[in-house]
């Protein structure tokens, strides 16, 4: 049954990533950020925050019903909502065009995602204790 939850969550996550990334990138189209992959960065940061929130909530509540949500929400939805391969491709393209922006993307994505997981976990501990 876990495979079905992962499959359903993955489909919803991929469609959501496309919608969010495209929408955010379109918002940046007429700004100085038009060449920067802000859409994928937004998905990766948001997904990192949400995974921290979910895992933090599960750690606080220790509820079996939430543990069953893990395959759908974490492995499925968030696994396909966030994307390392697109981040890598965007960074590769930036290195060819503007190496400084590639370095900014690396730092913002890696450090930002780690900070977002930490913030999500702390938020869960604060909200659900």
pLDDT tens string 25-39: 999 999 999 999 999
Identify the helix (H) or strand (E) that includes residue 108.
helix 99-128
Note the pLDDT of residue 106: 97
- Can you give the pTM of this predicted structure? 0.90
User: Would the annotation count 31 as a binding residue?
Assistant: no
Which range of residues forms the domain containing residue 71? 2-128
pLDDT at site 126? 92
Q: Is 4 in a helix, a strand, or coil?
A: helix
Model confidence over 58-75: pLDDT tens digits?
877 766 766 678 899 999
**Structural domain count, the chain:** 1
Q: Which of 100, 98, 92 is nearest to 40 (CA)?
A: 92
pLDDT digits (tens, 9 = 90+) for 76-89: 999 999 999 899 99
> Is 23 marked as binding a ligand?
no
């Amino acid at each position: 049954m876990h495979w079905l939850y992962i499959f359903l969550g993955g489909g919803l996550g991929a469609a959501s990533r496309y919608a969010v990334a495209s929408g955010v990138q379109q918002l940046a189209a007429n700004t100085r950020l038009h060449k920067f992959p802000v859409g994928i960065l937004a998905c990766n940061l948001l997904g990192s925050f949400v995974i921290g929130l979910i895992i933090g909530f599960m750690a606080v509540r220790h509820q079996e019903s939430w543990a069953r949500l893990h395959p759908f929400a974490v492995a499925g939805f968030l696994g396909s909502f966030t994307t390392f391969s697109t981040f890598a491709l965007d960074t590769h393209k930036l290195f060819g065009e503007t190496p400084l922006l590639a370095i900014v993307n690396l730092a913002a994505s890696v450090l930002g995602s780690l900070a977002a997981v930490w913030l999500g976990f702390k938020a869960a501990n604060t909200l659900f204790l």
